[in-house]
Amino acid sequence: MNAALRWAGIGVFCLVAVAPFAYVVSASFKATQSLFQFPPEWIPADPTLGNYRRLFTDLPFLRWTLNTLFVAGTVAALKVIFDSMAGYAFSKLTFTGRGALFGLMLATVMIPPAVLIIPLFFLIRDAGLLDTYWALILPPLANPIGIFMMRGFFDALPAELGHAARIDGAGPFRTYWHVVLPLVKPGLVVVGVYAFLIQYTNFVWPLVATSSEDLYVLTTGLARLKPNFTAPDWGLISAGSIAAMVPITLVFLALQRQFVSASLAGALKG
Amino acid sequence: MSVATADTDLRRLRRAHRRRQNAAALAFLGPNLVFFVAFLLLPVAWVVRQSFMEGGVLGPATWVGLDNWRQAIDDPALRRSLWHTLLFTAMTVPAVLGVALVLALLLRGVGRGGALVRGIVYLPSLAPVVLAGLLWIFVVNPDVGLLNAGVRAVGAEPVNWLGDAQLALPSIALLEVWRGTGFWALFLLAALLAVSRELYDAAAIDGASPFNRFRFVTLPGIGPTLLVAVVLTTLVAMQVFDAVFVLTNGGPAGATDTAVLYIYRSVFESGQPGYGAVLSLVLMALIVALTAVIVHSARRRAA
């Protein structure tokens, strides 16, 4: 293919990818009335930080950000611990019913998360946990994808490693903690990033599980800004959606390689 | 020591060893087993039970047998939501993957600047759907939207993208295309780069046209990856909710009602979680069936 043609095509894709972001960034620095200009003014003549300031005065935006980071961080940390343990058991230990249990867990991947909305709501409600951090953190821990990922990483380790540890007199716990866990650090990062990503993006469940503004995460909080019957608050919508992109973009820039493999696994669970 | 006692000793040792192994495995699997049973197996059983119950949101639930199933299947709103979900899937899956494949083919030959370009096209995929939906308001809004700025620039009448019953669902599908293209292009690019150079050289020697090279070398080469992509995008599209909730909330006049929106409303608006449970199970069956059909037809074509 002609190089000029190729770059022209890539240029169009880049332009389409970036244009909505650029437009909303530009809008976030504008006072509302100048949004209605035609043709649109890409560089605001009279830029203002007022919309970003209002995020913190009119909305508990800081609280929502901290909630998001707390919930996503906690789930990610717990998933790293529990899934590495389970992955190790499936990969390196022999026990009764190993194949059947693994098959059962694998089969549940076919269950769409949407099916769980109603029962989880009643379950969490009857447990008296509705509208608490527990409700946000506990149910996501059931996602078994991280276990499969970790098992893959453990499977890739040479079997001699475990044998050598056993001859040296190490039990399964010491082998796990001192011998194999340090060797699967890249796997731990991928599982952690994957869990973080899912929680950062999660919407239906937090929407169902919480009702007080203090417990909103970024997605549920900002979704309330959607224009229903009133005129949209363009300033808050633009500044809010751009500001909420910042943490996830930083994670992306810091961990680009793991991020892509993690979001690939994320696609797997919808 | 006789042979018989040595034999039972050995058996006892084995049993003890097995018990220790099982205990260790239980310790390692414990936390995940608890969550798996409590938040995955139990809910699935619960949703089946709920489909035979009425009420439960405010008062206690009562057993109604198959009534929900009979009435829900006849409920026009439920049927409509399923139809819109299938329509949305039929719109987004080929569009997202088709556009992504074009981008992946363009990116294949890029050497210098590749990382930067890949980063840029990935940007929309980075946005959680809710945030992408909020950004999309600025694209499709009739007054301040980017699309209508383009429409006006060519001198046409502004279009009410989300307010028009015919255009609302495609406008949301367009968001999915914008958001998904970068990610799926990188996904397919990895497969494209793995197709053997020699196959292309052989095809070139045989005088194959660019189209035939694509048809007989590229497509079979990335076939398995493409199949995975079709299955996964179908899975996601069938559960569309976030974008609809933010952009139209099912409107105008129910034109963008989808299955998961119906499920959500069955608890929080109509107070008929039994209907929602029925639709949850129907949706799951539909997704499993669709996946089976896709995988099966792909296998047949490959054979």
For residues B254 and B169, the answer to whether their CB atoms sit within 8 Å is: no
Partners of B54 in the β-ladder: B62
pLDDT band at A33 (very low <50, low <70, confident <90, very high): confident
pLDDT, position B52: 92
Q: Please name the residue of chain A whose CA is at the shortest distance from the CA of residue B18.
A: A95
* pLDDT at residue B2, rounded to an integer: 62
Mean pLDDT of A6-25: 94
State the Cα–Cα distance between residues B146 and B141, nearest whole angstrom: 8
- Answer whether residue A84 shows pLDDT above 70: yes
d(CA B259, CA B89): 12
Output the average pLDDT for chain B: 89
Query: What number is the ipTM of this complex?
Result: 0.89
Asked if B153's CB is within 8 angstroms of A115's CB, the reply is no
| A270 has a pLDDT exceeding 70 | no
The pLDDT assigned to A242 comes to: 95
- Confirm if A166 and A207 have CB atoms less than 8 A apart: no
User: If you average pLDDT over every residue of chain A, what do you get?
Assistant: 88
Name the residue in chain A with its Cα closest to that of B113.
Answer: A7
Q: What is the pLDDT of residues B60-86, one digit of tens each?
A: 888 888 888 988 888 899 999 999 999
Q: Which residue has the higher pLDDT, A265 or A142?
A: A142
Q: In the predicted model, is pLDDT for residue A200 greater than 80? A: yes
CB B239 to CB A238 under 8 A? no
Q: What is the pLDDT of residue A218?
A: 95
Our CA-based measurement puts residue A263 at a distance from the nearest CA of chain B, in whole angstroms, of 9
Judge: B32–A21 Cβ closer than 8 Å, yes or no.
no
Share of chain B above pLDDT 70, in %: 98
- From the list A23, A85, A93, which residue is nearest B138 (CB)? A23
Output the pLDDT for position B303.
Answer: 64
CB contact under 8 A, B267 and A141: no
Model confidence over B146-202: pLDDT tens digits? 999 889 888 888 889 998 999 999 999 999 999 999 999 999 998 898 888 888 888
Task: For A212-232, write each residue's pLDDT tens digit.
Answer: 999 999 999 999 888 766 778
A221 touches chain B (CB under 8 A): no
Contact A191/B at CB under 8 A: no
Helix axes A185-201, A145-155, angle to 10 degrees: 170
Look at residue B65 in the predicted model and tell me its pLDDT: 83
The reply to whether residue B123 touches residue A121, judged by beta carbons under 8 angstroms, is: no
Confidence at residue B196, expressed as pLDDT on a 0 to 100 scale? 82
CB distance A17–B124 less than 8 Å? yes
Q: How far apart are CA A80 and CA A192, in angstroms?
A: 6
Among B28-32, B101-105, B108-112, B295-299, the least confident range: B108-112
Which tens digit of pLDDT belongs to each residue from A156-180?
A: 888 787 777 778 878 888 888 888 8
- Those residues whose C-beta lies under 8 Å from the C-beta of residue A47, and which sit 6 or more positions away, are A29, A30
CA distances from A219 to A163, A237, A241 (A): 48, 12, 9
Q: The pTM is what?
A: 0.90
Q: Chain B: give the shortest CA distance to residue A1, in Å.
A: 9
Q: Is the Cβ–Cβ distance between A169 and A107 less than 8 Å?
A: no
Residue B98 clears pLDDT 80, i.e. is over it: yes
Mean pLDDT of B126-143: 92
pLDDT band of B284, cuts 50, 70, 90: very high
Q: Please, which pLDDT band fits residue B203 given cuts at 50, 70 and 90?
A: confident
Q: How far apart are CA B108 and CA B193, in angstroms?
A: 7
Hey, of B15, B20, B26, B32, which one would you mutate to test binding to chain A, going by the most A CBs within 10 A of its CB? B32
Are A147 and B32 within 8 A, CB to CB? yes
Distance, in Å, from the CA atom of B102 to the CA atom of A14, rounded to the nearest integer, reads: 13
Cβ partners under 8 Å of residue A11, min gap 6: none
Q: Which of B24, B144, B186 sits opposite A35 (nearest CB)?
A: B144
Give the mean model confidence (pLDDT) for residues A15-43: 87
Q: Which of B270, B262, B249 is nearest to A225 (CA)?
A: B249
- The per-residue pLDDT for range B167-183, each reduced to its tens digit, is 999 999 999 999 999 99
Chain B residues in contact with A112 by the CB 8 A cut-off are 235, 238-239, 283-284, 287
Q: Determine the pLDDT at residue B1.
A: 53
Contact A110 B288 (CB under 8 A): yes
Tell me, letter by letter, the H, E, C secondary structure of chain B: CCHHHHHHHHHHHHHHHHHHHHHHHHHHHHHHHHHHHHHHHHHHHHHHHHCCEECCCCCCCEECCCHHHHHHHHCHHHHHHHHHHHHHHHHHHHHHHHHHHHHHHHHHCCCCCHHHHHHHHHHHHHCCHHHHHHHHHHHHCCCCCHHHHHHHHCCCCCCCCCCCCCCHHHHHHHHHHHHHHHHHHHHHHHHHHHCCHHHHHHHHHCCCCHHHHHHHHHHHHHHHHHHHHHHHHHHHHHCCCHHHHHHCCCCCCCCCCCHHHHHHHHHHCCCCHHHHHHHHHHHHHHHHHHHHHHHHHHHHHHC
Residue among B27, B129, B280 minimizing CB distance to A201: B129
What are the beta bridge partners of residue B53?
Answer: B63
Counting residues of chain A whose pLDDT is more than 70, the rounded percentage is 94
Q: Note the pLDDT tens digit of each residue in B208-233.
A: 888 888 888 888 889 888 999 999 99
Going along chain A from its start, the domains and CATH numbers come out as 1-48 (no CATH), 54-268 (1.10.3720.10)
Give pLDDT, residue A254.
Answer: 85
CA gyration radius for chain A?
A: 23
State the pLDDT confidence band at A259, using cuts at 50, 70 and 90: confident
pLDDT value of position A132: 96
pLDDT band at B301; cut points 50, 70, 90: confident
Measured between CA atoms, how close is B95 to chain A, in angstroms? 14
Distance from CA of A149 to the nearest CA of B (A): 14
- In sequence order, the β-bridge partners of residue B63 are B53
A243 contacts A68 by C-beta, under 8 angstroms: no
